[in-house]
Amino acid sequence: AKGHRMNKRIEFCPDGETEAVGFFVVEETRIAGVSYLLVTESEEDEAEAYLLKDLSEDGEAEARYVFVEDDEELEAVSKIFAELLDDVDLEL
């Protein structure tokens, strides 16, 4: 990523973990009513990227993010993010 859009930072506690993890939000999108975030651990160009999805119900005050682990879902969502970020090389 070329430093654009990366100003939002989120923290969440992955399942089974006790410590919250901080990520920089590169981009976000909504597919079939589900919010997805493309995040990185740092603002470095070569930072590893992850896909998160929000499992919270409409009206819930807090988002409940989980890592996207299903291969088909990962591929489909990463293609959409790749189109949104045509200047970024995605490697999930």
Residues 48-58: tens digit of each pLDDT: 889 999 998 87
Burial 10-19 (b: 16+ CB within 10 A, else e): bebeeeeeee
Q: How far apart are CA 63 and CA 12, in angstroms?
A: 9
Residues 26-35: tens digit of each pLDDT: 999 999 999 9
Q: Is the per-residue pLDDT at 60 higher than 60?
A: yes
Give the least confident one: 2-6, 16-20, 30-34, 66-70: 2-6
Residue 12 phi, psi (nearest 5) = -150, 165
DSSP-derived letter for residue 72 is H
Q: How far apart are CA 76 and CA 56, in angstroms?
A: 21
Residues 34-48: tens digit of each pLDDT: 999 999 988 777 778
Residue 19 phi, psi (nearest 5) = -95, 140
**Contact predicate 90/82, CB 8 Å:** yes
3-state SS, residue 78: helix
Cα atoms in the Cβ-side hemisphere of radius 13 Å centred on 82: 10
